[in-house]
Amino acid sequence: MSVSQRIADGRYDERVVVGGSDELAQLAQRFNCMAERLEQTESMRRQLIGDISHELRTPLTAIGGYMEGLTDGVLPASPETFDQVRMEATRLSRLVDDLQELSRVESGSYRLDIHPVRISKLIDTTVNRLSHQFAEKQVRLSAWGAGLSSPHSDLPQVLADEDRITQVMTNLLANALIYTQPGGEVTISAAKSGNEMQVSIKDNGIGISPENIAHIFDRFYRVDKSRSRAAGGGSGIGLTIAKAIVDAHGGRIWVESAGEGQGSTFTFTLPVQPRSNVSGV
């Protein structure tokens, strides 16, 4: 009882001593497991606040610096200077939008609108949405598995929330574009494997080293912060959001890369619409 009181007071490292194997001992064991989970949650909460403060500080420091320079006359009051300030403000808005989205998807406080849908339709939508940006950077974007004329047009339907899965694909394609040099190539494809559909986004860009692969879906994780920032990347939340959405669909998401400079392939799965009974029963 006294340990439970101390935990209630915020001492999450407290544990009870377990002796024997009777029902009371089992209860004590469960109690310790619960205390451990509380301790982990508390440490994640602290870490999150630290990460968010850090992410907010960078653009705010930059805006403060520009403003000081303008006031002191060190920086010219030119459109370029104001543009820099605007860019930092945009970065802040994007961070806040991402955080809001992350909290929504992780808390499950949104409803997935799941219905049978053709994966080729979603691939087409995403490719059309981003084709201009790919053309601008001169990175070739090709889709097989999409389009009626493709040999993959007979793929079965998947059970998905169209908007959310389009959001995941957009995110993965946008990342592939950011981390691939001009002249490179990105391919999006889909294939049925067992009773799930596998959607892959493959690039021949900068690749990911094995030690980074393990953390790539963690919140705020970026392989190279300055490179990601300079390349137009975000705060390292995009993949965390993508994973939460795929998880909510009952799918899986992972990345494969042979290492730095070897390109990357992100794959996620979605459940396939079960074949309807021929007799209709």
* Interface residue list for ligand ADP (CB under 6 A): 175-176, 179, 203, 205-206, 208, 216, 221-223, 228, 233-239, 264
**Tokens representing 262?**
């070897």
**Between 118 and 164, whose beta carbon lies closer to ligand ADP?**
164
**Between 39 and 256, whose beta carbon lies closer to ligand ADP?**
256
- Rounded Cα distance between 228 and 41, Å, is 28
**Between 184 and 251, whose beta carbon lies closer to ligand ADP?**
184
256: closest CA among 264, 247, 246? 264
Supply the minimum distance, in Å, between the C-beta of residue 58 and ligand ADP: 13
| Residues sharing a CB contact under 8 Å with residue 231, sequence separation 6 or more, in sequence order | 178, 179
H/E element, 131 = helix 119-137
Please state, in angstroms and as integers, the Cα–Cα distance from residue 135 to each residue in 138, 150, 185, following that order: 5, 22, 11
Supply the minimum distance, in Å, between the C-beta of residue 262 and ligand ADP: 10
**What burial class does residue 208 get, using C-beta atoms within 10 Å of its C-beta: 0-12 exposed, 13-18 middle, 19+ buried?**
buried
- Rounded Cα distance between 232 and 229, Å, is 5
**Between 172 and 272, whose beta carbon lies closer to ligand ADP?**
172
Strand-pair partners of 202: 187, 265
Provide the strand spans (E) within the chain.
114-117, 140-144, 158-161, 185-193, 196-203, 253-256, 264-271
Supply the minimum distance, in Å, between the C-beta of residue 271 and ligand ADP: 24
- Rounded Cα distance between 215 and 217, Å, is 6
Supply the minimum distance, in Å, between the C-beta of residue 235 and ligand ADP: 6
Supply the minimum distance, in Å, between the C-beta of residue 232 and ligand ADP: 9
Q: Which amino acid is at 97?
A: D
Supply the minimum distance, in Å, between the C-beta of residue 96 and ligand ADP: 14
**Between 32 and 262, whose beta carbon lies closer to ligand ADP?**
262
**Between 102 and 122, whose beta carbon lies closer to ligand ADP?**
102
**Between 14 and 101, whose beta carbon lies closer to ligand ADP?**
101
197: closest CA among 276, 271, 263, 258? 271
**Token pair 């396939």: residue:** 272
